[in-house]
Amino acid sequence: MTIADTADAQSAMVRTYEYDDSSVVVADLADASAEPAVDVVDGTAIVVLDGRQHEIDLPQEGTVADTFMKNGVLSIELEGTR
C-alpha cells in the first residue's frame, strides 16, 4: 500500500491509498453538514458541498467504482489502477 497526502485549493486534507488493483482517495470534509454532490470530469473529482466546490485530482488510471461519505470523510474508490 502506498499513501500520498495533498491538500486541495480549499485546504481539505486529501489522502490517496494505492493497492494492487485499486485506489481509494479520501478527503476530510469534517465541517460538512450535508451529503456532497460528486462528479468526475477528466480525472478530477468535483465535490460540491454546502455551497462550496472542491476539486480533487484522481490517480491517472482507473474508473470510479463507488463514492460515499461517513463521519465527514468522503471516500472515492477506483478500480483498475495499476
Q: In this predicted structure, what is the pLDDT of residue 76?
A: 92
Reply yes or no on whether the pLDDT at 36 is more than 80: yes
Rounded to an integer, the average pLDDT of 34-57 is 85
* φ, ψ at 24 (rounded to 5°): -130, 125
Rounded to an integer, the average pLDDT of 4-33 is 75
- Residues with Cβ < 8 Å from 21, sequence gap 6 or more? 79, 80, 81, 82
Distance, in Å, from the CA atom of 74 to the CA atom of 33, rounded to the nearest integer, reads 13
Distance, in Å, from the CA atom of 34 to the CA atom of 64, rounded to the nearest integer, reads 21
* CATH 2.60.40.790 holds for 2-79: yes
Reply yes or no on whether the pLDDT at 10 is more than 60: no
Share of residues in the chain with pLDDT > 70 (%): 79
Rounded to an integer, the average pLDDT of 63-81 is 87
What does the domain layout of the chain look like in residue ranges? 2-79
The type of residue at 55 is E
- Residues with Cβ < 8 Å from 68, sequence gap 6 or more? 74, 75
